[in-house]
Amino acid sequence: AQRVTQPEKLLSVFKGAPVELKCNYSYSGSPELFWYVQYSRQRLQLLLRHISRESIKGFTADLNKGETSFHLKKPFAQEEDSAMYYCALSLTGYSGGGADGLTFGKGTHLIIQP
């Protein structure tokens, strides 16, 4: 069965410092990978997906099939980046995970200190 691992429950960095949230997955096929974010008192929302290769709010993530990783990176952290971040995997196709059930990691709580 597929699995998503986020090794850090909590990550605290200073404003302006680089950020890297780690995500590793286990699946023998070619999954779709996503990062979801939940800001304080807001709903879970899609941040970015690997197939679009886009940068959202300064965040990027590259799928490394050799290392089965999909780490989320941002060169200069901002205080508004403080949130809960979830890495997720979909087995079939795009649509932001709406075409089938997502497998989520346990999440990393990112705190940006001023």
Task: Return the residue of 17, 53, 62, 99 that touches other proteins, per CB under 8 A.
Answer: 99
- As beta bridge partners, residue 59 has 56
Task: Return the residue of 81, 107, 110, 112 that touches other proteins, per CB under 8 A.
Answer: 107
Give residues with Cβ within 8 angstroms of 80, minimum separation 6: 112
CB of 86 to other proteins, least distance (A): 5
Q: Does 31 bind other proteins (CB under 8 A)?
A: no
Q: Does 94 bind other proteins (CB under 8 A)?
A: yes
Pairing of strands 10-14, 60-61: unpaired
